[in-house]
Structure formats: structure tokens, C-alpha cells
């Protein structure tokens, strides 16, 4: 009497895989050297990524410092312009202009209406 033994799963899948991929790639073993090299590569990749992102933050900080210095310079310029403008608007500066010195004072002032500022001579 002959007996037929059936395996679980299809054996043709395993044999097809073995035919397509060479045997030396299927017998891949993790040696301690491979693990050390892969760990070093991972640490280098992680360090490189951290360096890239920290460089971006440093660049942003440099840009912020540069903009802050520029703002301070603009504030100083604005204060100088405001000071010059206030000197020009001062009463002494207005009195000393030639336009004001040519003006004549009115002899008498009579208001047309008591509650308005309309004046007649």
C-alpha cells in the first residue's frame, strides 16, 4: 500500500522563490559586525538629521537678530526725524522765519458774532 503525504501550504511557492532569488541571498545571516555597522549608520543618519534641523533653527535666530538690529536702527532714525520736526514746529523757529516777520498785526479786531471766530475790520 502506498501512502500519500501532503504538506501544509503549497510547495511550489517555495520552489518558485528559490528559483527566482539566488541561494546566497536567501541564506542571509545577521552577524555581529553587520549589527554594529548598521547601528553606526543609523546613529550617523540620526546625527545628520539633527544637524540639519538645528542649522535651520540657528539660521532663523541669526535672521531674527539681524532684523532686530535693523529695527533698532530704524527706531533711532525715527526719533531723530521726530526731534528735527519738533524743532521746526517750535514757536521760536516759527517766529524767526522771514514769512512771519513780514506779517503785520491788525489794529483792531471786531467779532461779527459773539460765539464764532469770524472777524471783521
Give Rg (Cα) of the chain: 46
Lowest mean pLDDT among 27-41, 67-81, 84-98: 27-41
More confident position, 80 or 33: 80
Give domain status of residue 104, yes or no.
no
**pTM of this structure:** 0.42
Number of compact structural domains in the chain: 1
Is the pLDDT assigned to residue 121 strictly greater than 60?
A: no
In a domain, 113, yes or no: no
> pLDDT per residue over 15-43, tens digit each?
666 667 666 665 666 778 888 999 999 99
111: β partners: 119
What is the rounded CA–CA span in Å between residue 38 and residue 29? 14
In this predicted structure, the answer to whether residue 45 has a pLDDT above a threshold of 90 is yes
Within a domain: residue 120? Answer: no
Reported as half-sphere exposure (CB side, CA atoms, 13 A), residue 32 has a value of 0
Closest CA to 120 of 110, 59, 61, 96: 110
Residue 10 falls inside a structural domain: no
49 pLDDT tier (thresholds 50, 70, 90) = very high
Does residue 87 lie within any of the structural domains?
Answer: yes
In a domain, 115, yes or no: no
Amino acid at each position: 500500500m502506498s501512502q500519500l503525504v501532503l504538506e501544509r501550504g503549497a510547495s511550489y511557492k517555495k520552489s518558485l522563490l528559490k528559483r527566482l532569488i539566488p541561494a546566497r541571498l536567501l541564506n542571509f545571516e545577521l552577524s555581529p559586525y553587520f549589527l554594529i555597522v548598521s547601528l553606526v549608520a543609523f546613529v550617523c543618519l540620526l546625527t545628520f538629521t539633527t544637524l540639519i534641523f538645528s542649522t535651520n533653527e540657528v539660521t532663523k535666530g541669526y535672521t531674527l537678530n539681524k532684523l532686530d538690529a535693523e529695527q533698532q536702527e530704524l527706531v533711532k532714525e525715527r526719533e531723530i526725524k521726530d526731534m528735527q520736526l519738533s524743532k521746526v514746529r517750535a514757536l521760536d523757529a516759527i517766529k524767526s522765519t522771514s514769512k512771519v516777520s513780514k506779517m503785520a498785526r491788525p489794529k483792531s479786531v471786531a467779532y461779527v458774532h459773539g460765539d464764532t471766530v469770524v472777524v471783521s475790520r
